[in-house]
A and B are shown apart, each in its own frame.
Chain A
Amino acid sequence: MSTGTTKLDVVVSDVVPVNELVTRFHFRRRDGELLPTFSGGAHVVVEMRDGDRTRLNPYSLMGSPLDTREYTISVRRDDVGRGGSLFMHRSVNPGLEMVVSYPVNLFSLDLRAKKHLMLAGGIGITPFMAQTAQLAGSGGNFELHYTCRTASLGTYADVLQERYGRRVRLYHDDRDERIELDRLLSSQPLGTHLYVCGPTGMINWVRERAAALGWPAETVHYEHFAAPQPGLPFDVTLAVSGKTIRVGEQQSLLEAMEAAGVDPPYLCRGGVCGQCETNVVSYDGKFIHNDHWLSEEDHRSGCKIMPCVSRFEGKSLVLER
């Protein structure tokens, strides 16, 4: 059993189209009990049985942590992705029995903060749905800045504005509205923590400006779910389990190991948590490290790999698993 990924048997209780790209899914426990509590920013890994393939995708819980009768996630359809979101959109209907992991929080609020400044881009809004609900319930001080492509793709923008009024600021790309980031960051009272979730470019931009403007790294939190990138197929030998397996074009190394009956640990499946770190025994070729966990030095050393997102090109690769 993978660390921190104890399973929950759930049934899909509702499927609600939100806009042209996003659909919301509600899950309840099959035994009718309450689900485990979670804190704002937590995600669950949803298991999808797609024919003979099992897909495991992480999604942020977006319901209020104060209500654990159900879990809700929102899935943005990605027509060119690896198929997980398409499966959710096409094949998941109310009544379907599914399995999700216990919630894991890699993007939690720092409750010592005097103020929480949140920046969301696109579907990156989902963890903030739960975080704002949690803070509103405890009288916390927050401000949310949300950028979306068009008003109709501003997922839950209306809900948020209705709930929190002026604490929510919207920016629409098609109207050329942009966050005045430097001014926003420089005008925050001491003791503010910053949270950002959205496309990679946005996260990098915000982290870079915050660092340059003197925000200590401990006050800057971000959620980065990089989906595993496809690439050339490659073979890998697993020294401990004594198996040689092939990693397909559309498959991550972690998925290939799971399909071969190896059960490596994971939490985020997005290259950020560090849980799946694996030692390299030997290699002849080149790594394509897509993670945000290992240091640059680790990447150069060729001694470690994060199987959830990283790939390999070359003659041979032996891992300690």
Chain B
Amino acid sequence: MAAKTIISRPIYGTLSPQPGKHHLFVADAEGALAIVDMARTAPPGFFDGAEIVFIPGADGKHVAALEALKSAQFHVAPTFASLLPRLKQTLANAHMGLRLYLAGTEGLIGQAMQVALEAGIDHTSMQTEHRGSLARRMQCVHCKGITENVTTQPATCAHCGLLLLVRDHYSRRLAAFQGVCINAEDRSEIPPIEEVFP
């Protein structure tokens, strides 16, 4: 569970069934288990009006567990980018009463939240639960490039190659943490690189 450090650092909750007619779940990897856990407390018939969109990740686990929930629609996607058009379409056609549940890595939650915010859902009315890897999506404040799945501190920008301090400062608009050059004075100074977001 990600700890709260500074004000822009997102905090996540535990999914719980909300009243409403339509329920849209977006999850990746271990996030599937958050949905399965929530299903235990859901009222009968809850998944009759639900759609689950799932990105299983490399090991392809948890697909069967989600299928077993018998949601009205179930959709598996290889990457977030590949499900983006579908997600946008669903939200554009949706009406008030649709509830959104996001579970899994911070990168997934943040990016799905970004699309939902644009569609008009307030971030406080989304259900979120962080599960699995603590890997971060990071924006380099120098070249603005986004590096996915950052697990170390400091981390190298995949675009400009600068060594960056991964800050807790989070942009909801970009769905990314900010990375700031750690050795701007002297590039030869390389602090130890540790795995801190496993």
Contacts and interface: CB of A to CB of B under 8 A. Distances in A.
Interface in B1-48: 18-22
Interface stretch (B65-73, B95-103, B142-150): B95-103
Contacts of B19: 211-214
A190 B125 contact: no
A191 interface: yes
Contacts of B124: 216, 218
Nearest to A191: B120
B122 A114 contact: no
Interface in A131-156: none
Size range of the interface on A? 20 to 34
A185 B125 contact: no
B94 interface: yes
Interface in A260-300: none
Interface string A196-232: 0000000000000001111111110000000000000
A186 B96 contact: yes
Contacts of B22: 214
Nearest to A110: B122
B120 A114 contact: yes
Contacts of A192: 96, 120
A188 B122 contact: no
Chain B interface size, under 10 / 10 to 19 / 20 to 34 / 35 or more? 10 to 19
B91 interface: yes
Contacts of A114: 120
Interface in B59-110: 91, 94-99
Contact of B120 (A185, A189, A211, A213): A189
A113 interface: yes
Contacts of A213: 19-21, 96-97
A31 B14 CA distance: 57
A190 B95 contact: yes
B181 interface: no
A175 interface: no
A114 B97 CA distance: 15
B182 interface: no
A112 interface: yes
Nearest to A215: B96
A301 interface: no
B89 to A, nearest CB: 12
Interface of A: 112-114, 185-192, 194, 211-219
Interface of B: 18-22, 91, 94-99, 119-122, 124-125
Given A190-B119, A219-B96, 12 more contacts: A114-B120, A185-B96, A185-B97, A186-B96, A190-B96, A190-B98, A211-B19, A215-B96, A216-B124, A217-B125, A218-B122, A219-B122
